[in-house]
Structure 1
């Protein structure tokens, strides 16, 4: 199969577009013919070795955890799927090596769900990791109907999905973003505010009674700002602030979860959730896709088109 791989840690320049053996399919896995693969910041962080203290890594390493594709073969005890089924997945395993930047990926069934019919392959590939991060963060702070939720980095790949999920739950959403993304946030149902110095005052002007919950997808001290505004200081979750637990909030490291992924698909098929796709690259140009991700200015998801 064709795949993007590296023999060493480094930047995007260490990646090669090459031939690798087809993956082996375990008893509780299926072989997926990849249609598209999502690109996430964690991909280039793994490539740089940042997660080495946390996850065992083996070379040659194929990056990528997001996939949308078609089941091509089924493991001996993978009764959940049949050949030809269309699936999406957040294919994070216990060790990092066999990722989704490839024509084929062996995916444990616990990481998969049915592809939402309403999403294109590109949109579907951008949903799993970002969607699950948003969904599980909102669940951690128990955001619900009638509440005011503050979403930090609301125009990004995760934040834009969190806005839609919270709106679908009946919450009022205030989202931080640069001014150029304010109309985009309004189109998703959020009330935009500009991030940076004075953020707390700008949020108070919209919600003088305070906010009920906050989710942080950017870091940089916004947990502290959130806690100034929260009625209950514990109802803040972050994927980016390693000190949030010590401040009484919640740290979120997204987990593969079929039920949560299925719920996201149901929101999409009900017309309540879409996946903004910022850029699409062919698999062979994965290095350039990662460079764009590293720039940190993308509105929506970056996706690799594989087959």
Structure 2
């Protein structure tokens, strides 16, 4: 086994652990035995972990956790970025010292994660981090980037489109808005009144959510809106229908609506994540980091994430 030294060496490391399901109050940082890479696996020394709404949703109760294959005790966080520090037998394509990012389902907020390079999936994967992409940014890409890419594909967005994006200032929204603009579409993004400047910086024309949304969008786009993505709930779906958008060109990511496609990041096209990383490295896409916290402040970070009013991404530094 090839291995690299670390300030914590190979014995112990910090990890966020839940001994019971619940909210931020059940998150604790523990010293745990560091995992070791087995055959076909690499161990990553995590430098940053990005938070997403699904992190606290899937550990909130036993029934939801079970749907994701999770049981107590369990870790927290899925998006990570760091450096390979241990390579198991039979691994090709990775070496000690490689910078990587990816997903480690409900265990990313930890000093070390082990990734299976043979049986990889969207929740257990490693990708090379391109030069020009820092670890904090790389740690925000997996869930939100894949989901945004899948949403664009679900509505077949192109340069002739005007798209309405609900929840455009959130973690998925910052990717969806920019990817839509790169695709050549005109973007109208919903948000609070305080998010208007932020949305403009991303390339969207802001519109406030709430009652009368369809009328406000109609005033902005009198020639019509051709597609819609609801990245928060259902308000944008019903406004889109009121605007005459066909169901086949509307999608959700967080809810189910009869007749409307639900975009799932796990079903994003092959290479979607690498393409997003390349766009960032080229300076064509940026990821706003709303807040950074040390792992010892995981409860504060999770509470802020659960509030769903963050403009951009929240990152845990390790």
Question: What does the per-residue CA deviation read over 1:13-45, in whole Å, with 9 as the maximum and x for residues that have no partner?
Answer: 212211112224343432111000001111111
Structure 1 residue aligned with 2:311: 299
2:65–2:71: 8 Å Cα contact kept in structure 1? no
- For 2:279 and 2:96, the matched residues in 1 are separated by 25
- For 1:230 and 1:24, the matched residues in 2 are separated by 55
Matched, 1:61 2:69: no
- For 1:26 and 1:249, the matched residues in 2 are separated by 42
Q: 1:225 to 1:53 in 2, by over 3 A?
A: farther
Structure 2 residue aligned with 1:250: 261
In the alignment, which of 212, 225, 235 is matched to residue 239 of structure 2?
A: 225
- For 1:68 and 1:208, the matched residues in 2 are separated by 44
- For 1:229 and 1:202, the matched residues in 2 are separated by 11
Give the deviation of 1:192 after TM superposition.
Answer: 0.9
State the secondary structure of the residue aligned to 2:201. helix
Identify which range, 46-55 or 172-181, moves more after superposition: 46-55
Question: What does the per-residue CA deviation read over 1:154-189, in whole Å, with 9 as the maximum and x for residues that have no partner?
Answer: 111110111011111111111111121111111111
What are the within-5 Å matches in structure 2 for residues 8-87 of structure 1? 8-49=20-61, 51-87=64-100
Structure 2 residue aligned with 1:211: 225
Structure 2 residue aligned with 1:269: 281
Structure 2 residue aligned with 1:168: 182
Structure 1 residue aligned with 2:173: 159
Structure 2 residue aligned with 1:3: 15
Structure 1 residue aligned with 2:3: none
- For 1:124 and 1:168, the matched residues in 2 are separated by 19
State the secondary structure of the residue aligned to 2:33. coil
Matched, 1:190 2:193: no
- For 2:104 and 2:26, the matched residues in 1 are separated by 23
2:129–2:138: 8 Å Cα contact kept in structure 1? yes
Q: 1:205 to 1:56 in 2, by over 3 A?
A: same
Identify which range, 63-72 or 219-228, moves more after superposition: 219-228
Unaligned runs of 5+ in 1: none
Unaligned runs of 5+ in 2: 1-12
TM-score (norm 2): 0.88
Structure 1 residue aligned with 2:4: none
Matched, 1:104 2:104: no
Q: 1:222 to 1:256 in 2, by over 3 A?
A: closer
Give the deviation of 1:108 after TM superposition.
Answer: 3.0
Matched, 1:283 2:295: yes
What are the within-5 Å matches in structure 2 for residues 95-134 of structure 1? 99-109=107-117, 110=120, 111-134=125-148
Question: What does the per-residue CA deviation read over 1:184-232, in whole Å, with 9 as the maximum and x for residues that have no partner?
Answer: 1111111111111111011111222322221111104321112222442
TM-score (norm 1): 0.91
RMSD: 1.7
